[in-house]
Amino acid sequence: METVKVERIDHLGIVAGVIKDLKIIEMIDSRIPKDEKENISAGEAIAGMVLNGLGFSNRPLSLTPQFFENKPLDVLFRPGVKASDFNHYKLGRSLDDAVDYGSELLFSEIASSSCRSESIHLLFNHLDTSSFSLTGEYLPDLDEHAIKITHGYSKDHRPDLKQAVLELMVSQDGGIPILCKCWDGNASDNTVFKERSSELVRQFKASDTPRYLIMDSKGYTESNASNLKDIPFITRIPGTLSIVTTVIEQALKWDQWVEINDGYQYQTLELGHYGIDQRWLIIRSKGALERAVKSVERTISKEKERAEKQLFHLQAQRFDSEAEAMTALQELNDKWKYHLVDTIELKQHIKYAVKGRPTPDTPIQSIKLQINAELKVNQEKADQDRDQKSCFVLGTSIPRVQLSDEDVLWGYKGQSKVENGFRFIKDPLFFASSLFVKKASRVEGLWWTPKSRQKSTEFKLCIELSFHLNNIVRMVFLLSRSVLVSRRMNHLWSVAEQMIHPPGQGIYPQSWLLRPQRPDIQHRVLNFPMTGAVVLHCKKQNILPDQPLVHPQRHSLSGRRLHV
């Protein structure tokens, strides 16, 4: 009686194929020597963490052996690899080895090699930071070079937790990460951008092709101006600078907007600021205008509620003179931004010297005044702030002959690439941001493994497989979760289960049969149960016409035929 062993490969075959195509394991092993007493190398251990992180397992890395128990490890890695090899001791030592070699250096070398092999354009380089909240004490590490897990400004809105800061720079072409570094939990963006700018001066000058730095307003400071002089940059000018308000007011007054597609308008202004000759673009968009209208209306509503309460308490007071009453009302009016006093009425309250009903001859002891006032919206100020908030200023040191005004705007809009990268890392679906390690130094080694998962555009379904994993690729991964590998007499078949089926009809598997694997053919099979489509991608070498790739027998579901 013959036996059949079935193992789940799901979408991990795609991820493992990308890792092998980019030779990530070989690059790591060439830099971190393997311990002869261990069955797997540091590169294979890191690749295992990558597969676990993208496996939709929602489990920590300490349970990686359990994750690989039902996986075809000889297909994902090589023959002889066992699930028990990925124990937490080996993973921890691999993280320590990555830190000892230099996590930033190792990541940049892998990223640089991947960009060259995939012909990634590095014209626009987007830089940003984000914080990651961590649970646990995280006592000071014995290594003085390790990052400090401590409290700081939390972008996760968890000031109660300690955190670490991650710096990331990606290319606009595909959102490929090209630089990654960990910082102390209390490191400020100003410090991070300043140090990074000083290091990029040498790298950009040594580059064979032009490279531009795109960053947020935190990098545009007077202390960082000495570095920005030598770097072609595009940045948003901080709105806290008084010159920005002046420039926007001037542009609104000129009203000489140049239309761009997607509802954008701009005006240009050339000036020198912080000792740098720059070109500033005052940008106005329909989306920003809609947000500004909602923001101003929300502020007006909150201020009206607060102003009415203050006015109610003021009207309960009594004043000795009209000047005193008007002074008190003016003090309140100065506190309001979007409201003005519309009508004012002073009501007298007379106090007589004797008790009883007063007569015309009854002496008056004192006269107090009470204010009754009505409010109105300061529409002129509201419209002014609405127009002001609908605009922002971009600054660049790149000459117009090298980069047009429109390209400056589109280059800055690519900043969403790095934000998508942080969103991917923090996505609970991939369980990549949940860090549970004993040593703070291992956080630095652990963080770059999720970002080395996808650095290729080689995905033959006309889908760009990039760092941020868009919704289409995520759907492909989810639809591939029931792809199995069946082993029988040393032959390899792929079986895809029907995942979505009508209630009460059970699961009817769709399957197709591949001939035994040959060393000169690399198979990649993907099934789409929702449409019944099957995509086969293979790299052939000297395939003979009389050796078909697919067995002539195909199974169908409800009369629907599968096409390869």
The 10s digit of each residue's pLDDT in 516-554 is: 444 443 444 444 343 333 333 333 333 333 333 333 333
Model confidence at 472, pLDDT cuts 50, 70, 90, reads: very low
Q: What share of the chain is helix, strand, coil (3-state, %, to 5)?
A: 35, 25, 40
Task: Say yes or no: 296 and 395 in one domain.
Answer: yes
The lowest-confidence range among 299-303, 305-309, 314-318, 479-483 is 479-483
Q: How far is CA 355 from CA 230, 359, 361, 369, in A?
A: 86, 11, 13, 21
Which has more confidence, 401 or 499? 401
- Average pLDDT over every residue of 219-231: 90
Q: Is residue 40 part of a domain?
A: yes
Task: Say yes or no: 306 and 264 in one domain.
Answer: yes
Task: Say yes or no: 458 and 509 in one domain.
Answer: no
Q: Is residue 256 part of a domain?
A: yes
Kindly tell me if the per-residue pLDDT of 142 is higher than 60.
no
Model confidence at 396, pLDDT cuts 50, 70, 90, reads: very high
Kindly tell me if the per-residue pLDDT of 195 is higher than 60.
yes
Task: Say yes or no: 388 and 495 in one domain.
Answer: no
- The strand pair at 483-488 and 264-273 is best described as unpaired
Which has more confidence, 183 or 504? 183
- Average pLDDT over every residue of 269-277: 92
Model confidence at 28, pLDDT cuts 50, 70, 90, reads: very high
Q: Could you give the CA distance from residue 128 to residue 290 in angstroms, rounded to a whole number?
A: 26
Q: Is residue 291 part of a domain?
A: yes
Task: Say yes or no: 456 and 376 in one domain.
Answer: no
- The strand pair at 212-215 and 391-396 is best described as unpaired
Per-residue pLDDT at 404: 92
Per-residue pLDDT at 499: 34
Last residue of a domain, one of 422, 440, 465: 465
Q: Do residues 490 and 150 lie in contact, with contact meaning Cβ atoms separated by under 8 Å? A: no
Average pLDDT score over the chain:
76
Task: Say yes or no: 262 and 380 in one domain.
Answer: yes
Q: Is residue 228 part of a domain?
A: no
**552, containing H or E segment:** strand 550-554
Which has more confidence, 554 or 304? 304
Q: Is residue 210 part of a domain?
A: no
The lowest-confidence range among 175-179, 414-418, 424-428 is 424-428
**% of residues, the chain, pLDDT over 70:** 72
- For the record, the structure tokens of 397 come out as 């040191």
Task: Say yes or no: 359 and 388 in one domain.
Answer: yes
Q: Is residue 151 part of a domain?
A: no
Nearest Cα residue to 414 out of 142, 152, 176, 71: 176
Last residue of a domain, one of 412, 432, 465: 465
Q: Could you write out the DSSP letters of every residue in 454-501?
A: ------TTT----TT--HHHHHHHHHTTTEEEEEETTEEEEEE---S-
Q: Do residues 221 and 194 lie in contact, with contact meaning Cβ atoms separated by under 8 Å? A: yes
Per-residue pLDDT at 338: 92
Task: Say yes or no: 353 and 501 in one domain.
Answer: no
Q: Could you give the CA distance from residue 6 to residue 483 in angstroms, rounded to a whole number?
A: 10
- Average pLDDT over every residue of 74-93: 90
Beta bridge partners of residue 347, listed in sequence order: 370
Question: Which of the residue ranges 48-52, 234-238, 530-534 has the most confident prediction, judged by mean pLDDT?
Answer: 234-238
Per-residue pLDDT at 102: 84
Nearest Cα residue to 393 out of 242, 505, 494: 242
- Average pLDDT over every residue of 159-187: 85
Per-residue pLDDT at 478: 57
pTM for the whole thing?
A: 0.70
User: What dihedral do alpha carbons 219, 224, 229, 230 form, nearest 10°?
Assistant: -80
**% of residues, the chain, pLDDT over 90:** 26
Nearest Cα residue to 193 out of 418, 491, 509: 418
Kindly tell me if the per-residue pLDDT of 199 is higher than 90.
no
- Average pLDDT over every residue of 67-84: 90
Residue type, 521: I
Model confidence at 439, pLDDT cuts 50, 70, 90, reads: low
Kindly tell me if the per-residue pLDDT of 482 is higher than 90.
no
Beta bridge partners of residue 546, listed in sequence order: none
Across 95-228, where does the E strand assignment appear?
124-134, 162-171, 177-183, 212-215
Which three-class secondary structure state does DSSP give residue 204?
helix
User: Which range marks the domain in which residue 78 is found?
Assistant: 9-105+448-465
Q: Do residues 156 and 165 lie in contact, with contact meaning Cβ atoms separated by under 8 Å? A: no
Q: Is residue 310 part of a domain?
A: yes
Q: Could you give the CA distance from residue 170 to residue 127 in angstroms, rounded to a whole number?
A: 7
- Average pLDDT over every residue of 301-309: 93
Which has more confidence, 150 or 243? 243
Per-residue pLDDT at 44: 92
Task: Say yes or no: 505 and 453 in one domain.
Answer: no
Count of all residues that appear for the chain in the document: 564
Beta bridge partners of residue 252, listed in sequence order: none
Task: Say yes or no: 53 and 22 in one domain.
Answer: yes
Kindly tell me if the per-residue pLDDT of 302 is higher than 90.
yes
- For the record, the structure tokens of 163 come out as 């955190």
Which three-class secondary structure state does DSSP give residue 127?
strand
Task: Say yes or no: 251 and 332 in one domain.
Answer: yes
Q: Do residues 526 and 480 lie in contact, with contact meaning Cβ atoms separated by under 8 Å? A: yes
- For the record, the structure tokens of 330 come out as 């003016």
Q: Count other Cβ atoms within 10 Å, centred on residue 420.
A: 17
Task: Say yes or no: 324 and 259 in one domain.
Answer: yes
Kindly tell me if the per-residue pLDDT of 453 is higher than 50.
no
Q: Could you give the CA distance from residue 192 to residue 129 in angstroms, rounded to a whole number?
A: 8
Look at the chain and report how many structural domains it folds into.
3
Q: Could you give the CA distance from residue 468 to residue 530 in angstroms, rounded to a whole number?
A: 25
Q: Could you give the CA distance from residue 511 to residue 329 in angstroms, rounded to a whole number?
A: 81
Nearest Cα residue to 523 out of 543, 498, 549: 549
Model confidence at 234, pLDDT cuts 50, 70, 90, reads: very high
Model confidence at 492, pLDDT cuts 50, 70, 90, reads: very low
Q: Is residue 124 part of a domain?
A: no
* Residue bearing tokens 């806290």: 240
Last residue of a domain, one of 362, 384, 401: 401
Helix axes 88-101, 42-53, angle to 10 degrees: 110
Per-residue pLDDT at 56: 66
Q: Which distant-in-sequence residues (6+ apart) come within 8 Å of 295 by Cβ? A: 389
Q: Could you give the CA distance from residue 293 to residue 132 in angstroms, rounded to a whole number?
A: 33
Which has more confidence, 491 or 346? 346
Q: Which distant-in-sequence residues (6+ apart) come within 8 Å of 235 by Cβ? A: 214, 215, 216, 217, 219, 220, 394, 395, 396, 412
The lowest-confidence range among 42-56, 424-438, 509-523 is 509-523
